Amino acid sequence: QVQLVESGGGLAQAGDSLRLSCQASGGTFSRYAMGWFRQAPGKEREFVAKISRFGGTTDYADSVNGRFTIARESAKNAVYLQMDSLKPEDTANYYCAADQVYTAVSYEYWGQGTQVTVSS
């Protein structure tokens, strides 16, 4: 059983940067591809970014490509989401997720989320 805890959310202004962190425990970190998802009020949860087990492959949603960067640090069992040039439409609850399959559509483990609010 993998536990995921997100942190780093908060208030930002348009153009600012935030860095989200996700701490994993309870499993072998290198067995899991990691992803970030977000859900805005009244909207469905959407994919943001993902990274393969050893960090060699990443993928991003078109809406964040070029502004967000996902990275993982195996020594700390952590995955990060660096968010630059934030926009008000990035406002959402951001979730970290883990799955053993990089191409998984439905991830096995989820964190509780961290709120990001971007004002114009």
Q: Three-state SS for 30? A: helix
Burial of 66 (0-12, 13-18, 19+ CB in 10 A): exposed
Mean residue pLDDT of the chain comes to 96
pLDDT by position in tens, the chain (length 120): 899 999 999 999 999 999 999 999 998 999 999 999 999 999 999 999 999 999 999 999 999 999 999 999 999 999 999 999 999 999 999 999 999 999 888 899 999 999 999 999
**According to the model, what pLDDT value does residue 94 have?**
98
What residue type is assigned to position 26 of the chain?
Answer: G
